[in-house]
Amino acid sequence: MVVQSCDIPERQNSDHNINLLAAASSVYSRAKSLMAIQFVLTVPAALASSIIMAVQPTTKVWLTLFSVTVALTDALFLSRMQTRLRKRGATIQQMFDCGLFDLPWRQFRYGPPVDSEDILAEAKPRLRKPKVRSRLVDWYPVAVKALPLHLARLVCQRASLSWDLRQRDRVRGALTLLLSLLVAAIFLIALLRGNTVEQMILTVYVPLAPAVLWIIREILAQRDAIQSDEKGLVFVESLWNQALAKGATEEDLLQESILAQEALFDARSRSPMVFNWVYRLLRSRHQEQMEHKAAEMVQEALKRIGPGQ
């Protein structure tokens, strides 16, 4: 029986799908802007507060008030708004994936799709920026064109999980280093001033506490996201091996791919964001790795099933 190759590489670059990606990017960028505000208020500002308090102890009351205000603002406004934007961005990206992979829309799980008017409103300003469209073209590896849809879908899902895992692992490492530097700063400032333990807690640790707590929270959230990606990778690779061994029918693979896609949605809607500059810094290397692995998987599949077999 002849199996038709898929049209994912062509359809992903249609105006409709590029608009979906641009809209998701726009929403995610707003969420990342809120995360940047969180970072500035909790890390650089907290470090500055600690230094000011060490030099000018009379500012202790006002700086402590600032620290408490930052913590409340984060909990009551910034985190909640970021969560809503992250969920909306994940919904739009899920619309892109489900349409591209011919997967059903699970409204109970994903919620209602975002209205097309809202998609266009989000996408158009984004696409006016130079180089944005070029970063959205060929979102998934074009090598999957040689595969039937049920296999190409697995290659793309694996690419999403692997890409996310790699950049989160880099972020977790950077945050761990930053936390170590903050802890060292706490003891260094206290040592230079000859503070007692009580003085160190009141004049150094208290102003830095929001920064320390934010970084720890982000490290733990990134760790949880990495573990989720690792489980997803094992699951998708297991499906891939079953598919090549013909141990599962196309219908079986479709149902399992739906579960994998639901896991991707959960990760995107719940996991912490990664700053755009991190994505751009790692994009070239990750793109090369993704395309290399995809080409390797395609060649493996063609050897097993044969082109057009």
pLDDT, position 261 = 95
Contact 294, 144 (CB under 8 A): yes
Q: 104: which DSSP letter?
A: -
pLDDT, position 204 = 59
Q: At what angle do helices 15-42 and 206-244 cross, to 10 degrees?
A: 150
Mention every residue, 6+ apart, whose C-beta is less than 8 A from residue 189. Answer: 50, 51, 54, 195, 204
pLDDT, position 66 = 74
Percent of the chain with pLDDT over 70: 86
Tell me the mean pLDDT in the region 270-291.
81
- 1 pLDDT higher than 50: no
pLDDT, position 195 = 61
**The dihedral formed by the CA atoms of 126, 132, 133 and 137, expressed in degrees to the nearest 10:** -130
